[in-house]
A and B are shown apart, each in its own frame.
Chain A
């Protein structure tokens, strides 16, 4: 046979008659309509999707491609959307879909019986919940099956009865709700939050709890987080990617990094494993897990040496002087031991020439080179909150006489003296002395202050050898002296030459491009206990080289999704500020640490947190984290709910009965009771029954599993059901400020209600599961920090089966609640709300010292040295009416966020004429009845989508700063975006003073370009980016200067106290560091359980271990392993890979324990848990301070974070697999 014959078999067929069968596939492709929506999960993607509908069924989704282009020379955003998003349509009709309301059978039986016995549902609930046996009955059944389908009427009545009862018997602050990351579906988030706040309940934070909050950001910039959109990476000429796995977690954005490389950018990846993003790297640096801080400390050593000391780069020099605190004067203080150490910034008010200044304690000094005198630049927190407006800016002018300032960065050549200061080497546990050039300044009291500059202090701390006396390194090869390249090797495992080469490339690139070096950073760093130090070291490399506030430069922190773009109007709806003041917003890390009793299972934090040896008596860097938590609440630094053992409604009533007339009287009365200890804070006795949280709503999240650090403690102490924890109480001898109960309570929660579209772990363990509409079945809004567009969620199909949108569900609860309230709360009641000192308020200048009223160190003053106490009137009978109306307070008081604000009175009145309204009690309001109406209300009154309001807000900022700013809004002044507009095409935000990036003319968003371009201060103590954190507690913890602290050792961290030796001696076991980075097949726990993702992975979420470790365990790839520690146990399969280094294991966040999880032979053959069965939360105490510049509380902005990366586990081959 010839070849020709063979080839001839290949027929080119053009005959359509013969090809009529092709309609088989053409028919499949046909569809009836396409609807724009997106995914409201906790994901930064923010991708616009086309939902395809055929026969009234959602068949599949494809990405939308119609993003408007930004500036030219930038790759477009299309397409956005990842493997997870495109698998979402699976859920809608899947066997995992929650189609109807479900209730725990044991609870339903009791409810039916109680309802038969009681006419009033509230009495019925009371009879059940106050009977310990019946309460235990349904608590013990939690998570053990026995769910029953029920109807909406039954569950709405039960839930509402529980709310009324809880408010009457305990107080509204025993009702809590958790829903994460509002930006992704902000109306759905707002629904439950609005109900809670109208009730007086508690909204739990998420960004800090998820450990997404990079505390170094508020530390340095006074900003929760603000970052570049992903298109801006394209401008970066050096990309340093650390702890962020771009293709796994920034999937739709990753192309910008890949494309930047082809445009000549260099990319370095830092990761202990050969992570997915390492594939792209020019250089992969396998820095030891959690040791990135040491790398960056050494980088800064080189940068300062070569680009600041040996040679001064003019651009770096100018930037550092103007935009950082480097020139500020720090006072050196002698301790009781006679040793000189860095103290606080020298306050302007202490100098004679500035003694007359208002808030002189909150204004600071630079050394003016020209005049040879100290001068007081504008822009500090003292200027921000002073009576004289227009002085809050970055102009280098004296705040008193307006004269120019030419700040000295260093006293190296002009100092009076070189003095030795003591600094800590936490790595080796020693101290060293290094010389700093100083000046002597006379203070008004006739004393002399020894001062140096922050810059000189940084030079000393980083160990830059400037020929000054002291323990300076000899050169880069000095292995003993922190923080040389040679020093870093023992921590990072990487060679010194790499550090030096990296630093030189970094400095050179930043010099030539004026700051186009970007650090893309993520949870791989932020979840460590000492994450703030690692972040700060990286941030310093950016600041020293002028990279912050530059397109193509800066810290691109992408963990979680904080960027809710239209924040002002959304916040007013979410927190019901349109009806009342002072919401109850709780930092979740503290709440869970305290209420789930995790604090009982550890001793002093100094067991694992390395701090300087104590220098003075009232040092807070010692003791138990719980004691610090109590201090933080008492002093108003952090919120805590419940507030008091008493019902806050009764507290308010009692105050009135005792004669308090004004709100101030009530506050003073409460303060007095607290001061004389007649009443305590709940946090001082959290295990007492009167201080338990009682009712918990969970929606849009997986609060019992995915985010439940210490999941097993939740099961034990919140739910009162089974758990696999073997840990035991150990805090009794450590805690000083806490009432100790011999027996920790189990089952604090009366009722847990979960709204869900799928049966996830939280749903499985809840008492009531309400069927929630999916993201293709409701209207909502979505924004992200990864790009600058705002997206709608839309109804491709109506809510399926009996599901309803979150907004609708909470509206129905509100309605039922108001019905019951007619009888139980016929008149409005007063509720006493305790709230912490707030960021972006004058409370930022509450106290320059950390004096406490409890020991008489300072007066107990509400809102200054203790929490604020506010009286809020609650009209429960009309709560439903309030819920569905955009209330009058915003019309009168305007809207605000991030310290910016504006009036909307005229717009509100106009809106009433053009949009749907509701009328009750004779008044008419904009309607919030339907989710589309909520979308439009948010869009209409937010600065990023209403150009006139942005203009107005800039105008107000002009008054505060004395700077010209409204020009930033001119080009977009006519922009108005409606929900319907967004459904047509993704629409970009516009410039707003609430955000720190400028984006006119298609400019890519990069954080802090507003500050750099327009001279607007950061919201910090000095108004500048802070190298130096002079808070007294930071000084006590040794974190006032950038530094390196060692990772807590497993023995110190006490995760293995009771589980070491648990396995039979014949078992081969290993102790490994347990890492839970974000994975490829999940967005948190969503998607991971769908059939697409399980098929493309391995059907379970395996533990990834190294070949070497697997060998020593006798484990082959895909073998089942048992992974355990004191907190709990996981049984899963092993993925053995040479990609993983020995000593660590990875289980990608976040598995459910609902599918393919066998039982644990070690833990009584009970069902093994999920990844958070092995974790618990520990709070880093220095994040608990408040009332001091950027260290002032704001929801999701400041406070301890739920770190869990330092966890260790024991692993062995699972001897028997039993489902």
Chain B
């Protein structure tokens, strides 16, 4: 057993309101500069939809992630078998500017400076790259709220496996639906961005598992951009370095939640430590698709198990981190309750961001120009919900419905339980039956309800201590650092091979 600790995340999609506050919190702090202007380390997508960069889930196009062929061990799909790959100078599967968008602003100053004329002056859109006038044809959130749904939603790769009829229904009033999918780097356990870098510029931080791109070492190969199936590494066209979500490690290091977590006004985000067994990564990453979700869970260790604690200690994991893992809300969602699921685990990077799948409104019937619902109960069942189970399965179950069904069924049972508790128009026996069917005790239901609804900031974000003094000590006396930090000249990353 090789125990490591990983800062992990849960996004509760049922609560996501699609506001994009997270995206801007991130943009303001990290990517509001030349070369990074088009990057959205955090973005929010409307699903069904094609997202950003467009159709990122279409690995036929992008060749991202790991590939498993038969009994052979997995390989990086974008580069083939060899570590240093033939496509290093030209990767045909790399997203282009068209797949992202050309960042633009407006000639605002014309409003102040225009000479008096016969008509009203205007600020025209101009490219932030060329400074020239630009036609705005794409953006990082272009299909928000089903904008252009016939072009975008209809081409969502997750619709695979749905019948033609089912796809058509999704755009009619009876079945019409969308939900939001906020995305950041998953800080995977098996990150193929790291594996793909010819320069060795990417690494996972030992203390927290955060995946970073060394801004000094990066040599602009962009292999990471091609390899990441989630398209969460980006090439900075100005500095010539790739960049990605850093999980706000400078904030985590001082005990603050990442900016996008802090600012999540839907209160959908949770963060905490998971302990896992790195020795079994290889085995799990090679499991058949249908076993991947369970397989990933099996990597994650119970921090309350005294054996695990002992081994973690001997692996050098500080007590404070172990204690933090024991309080981790992520562990509850992923392991205790099993209602949070990894996105596209079939990419086999073993993402450490988990999603609680959302509920959706009941389906309708439409007859003689009048729409109505066929509802027998106060709350509709998960199969009457508008998002097809198969769609969720493609997104969160490597195509398999069981784990999604379980997660949604339990959420619903909790609602029945709370209804029985707070109103009484649902009898206790019915609520108990539904809980039993959902594999949920009343205590668990209460715990799920509380962490979902009543959670405070401290409940949502259990940030492990980072022991910065010990890290600094390896370079310099912390006592000196205290006196010296901040003095000195700061250098920017330099472009170059």
Contacts and interface: CB of A to CB of B under 8 A. Distances in A.
B394 to A, nearest CB: 19
B120 A1136 contact: no
Contacts of B165: none
A258 B15 contact: yes
Given A262-B453, A264-B420, A81 B251 contact: no
B415 A264 contact: yes
Contacts of B331: none
Contact of B145 (A85, A1080, A1155): A1080
A811 to B, nearest CB: 26
A28 B105 contact: no
Interface in B112-161: 112-125, 136-137, 139-142, 144-151, 153
Interface string A1164-1179: 0011000000000000
- Of B209, B286, B425, chain A has the most CB atoms within 10 Å of the CB of B425
B74 A6 contact: yes
A251 B265 CA distance: 7
A14 B150 contact: no
B25 A62 contact: yes
B263 A247 contact: no
Contact of B417 (A144, A251, A252, A264): A264
Interface string A1081-1114: 0000000010110111111101010010000000
Contacts of A1156: 106, 122-125, 136
Contact of B119 (A89, A264, A722): A722
A3 interface: yes
A764 B112 CA distance: 8
Contact of B24 (A1092, A1117, A1159): A1092
Given A6-B73, A13-B203, A282-B362, A1094 B106 contact: yes
Nearest to A1: B81
A61 B29 CA distance: 9
Contacts of B438: none
A759 interface: yes
A247 B17 contact: yes
A252 B144 contact: no
A745 to B, nearest CB: 22
B447 interface: no
Given A1098-B142, A1159-B119, A1117 B147 contact: yes
Contacts of B380: 282
B416 A7 contact: no
Contacts of A446: none
A989 to B, nearest CB: 22
A1102 B25 contact: no
Interface in B244-301: 246, 248-251, 253, 259, 262-267, 278, 281-282, 285-286
Contact of A141 (B116, B141, B151, B361): B116
Given A10-B204, A14-B207, A237-B423, A89 B361 contact: no
Given A12-B203, A146-B115, A262-B453, A283 B122 contact: no
Contacts of A336: none
Contact of A261 (B104, B250, B285, B415): B415
A494 interface: yes
Given A63-B265, A263-B449, A146 B114 contact: yes
B259 to A, nearest CB: 7
A147 interface: yes
Nearest to A715: B120
A167 interface: no
B141 A9 contact: no
A62 B385 CA distance: 36
Interface in A48-70: 59-63, 65, 69
Interface stretch (B53-61, B211-219, B302-310, B395-403): B211-219
Contacts of A75: 267, 453-455
Interface string B411-422: 100111111111
A823 to B, nearest CB: 34
B360 A16 contact: no
A609 B26 CA distance: 51
A1183 B55 CA distance: 53
B34 interface: no
B198 to A, nearest CB: 11
Nearest to A1099: B136
Contact of B114 (A9, A145, A1141): A145
A281 B215 contact: no
B171, B370, B411: which has the most chain A beta carbons within 10 Å? Answer: B370
B30 A263 contact: no
A286 B17 contact: no
Interface in A484-511: 489, 493-495, 497-498, 501, 505, 508-509
Contacts of B111: 96, 759, 764, 1154
Interface size, A (range): 35 or more
Contact of B250 (A10, A29, A264): A29
A1139 B105 contact: no
B178 A25 contact: no
B24 A83 contact: yes
Contacts of A28: 29-30, 250
B422 A237 contact: yes
B1 interface: no
B70 interface: no
B94 interface: no
Interface stretch (A271-279, A346-354, A638-646): A271-279
A102 B176 CA distance: 50
Contacts of A96: 108, 111
Interface of B is mostly: loop
A1096 B144 contact: yes
A847 interface: no
A76 interface: yes
Contacts of B17: 246-247, 251, 254-255, 258, 276
Contacts of B379: 266, 282
Nearest to B22: A83
Nearest to B28: A60
Given A264-B420, A1117-B151, A102 B112 contact: yes
A7 B284 CA distance: 11
Interface string B172-203: 11001111100000000011001100001001
A7 B66 CA distance: 11
B150 A1138 contact: yes
Contacts of B278: 12
Contact of A489 (B83, B118, B136, B370): B370
Across the A-B interface, the 5 shortest Cβ-Cβ residue pairs: A146-B116, A495-B372, A14-B206, A264-B418, A264-B419
Interface of A: 1-7, 9-17, 19-30, 59-63, 65, 69, 73-76, 78-83, 85-87, 89, 94-96, 102, 105-106, 141, 143-147, 234, 237, 246-247, 251-252, 254-255, 258-266, 269, 274, 276, 278-284, 286, 489, 493-495, 497-498, 501, 505, 508-509, 512-513, 722, 759, 764, 1080, 1089, 1091-1092, 1094-1100, 1102, 1104, 1107, 1117-1118, 1135-1139, 1141, 1153-1157, 1159, 1166-1167, 1219
Given A14-B207, A264-B418, A759-B111, 11 more contacts: A9-B195, A12-B204, A13-B203, A25-B246, A75-B454, A87-B28, A263-B422, A279-B177, A722-B120, A1094-B104, A1097-B144
Interface of B: 4, 14-15, 17-21, 23-25, 27-30, 73-76, 81-83, 103-106, 108-109, 111-125, 136-137, 139-142, 144-151, 153, 171-173, 176-180, 190-191, 194-195, 200, 203-207, 209, 212, 214-217, 246, 248-251, 253, 259, 262-267, 278, 281-282, 285-286, 358-362, 364, 369-373, 375, 378-380, 411, 414-426, 449, 452-457, 471-472, 474-475, 486, 490, 492-493
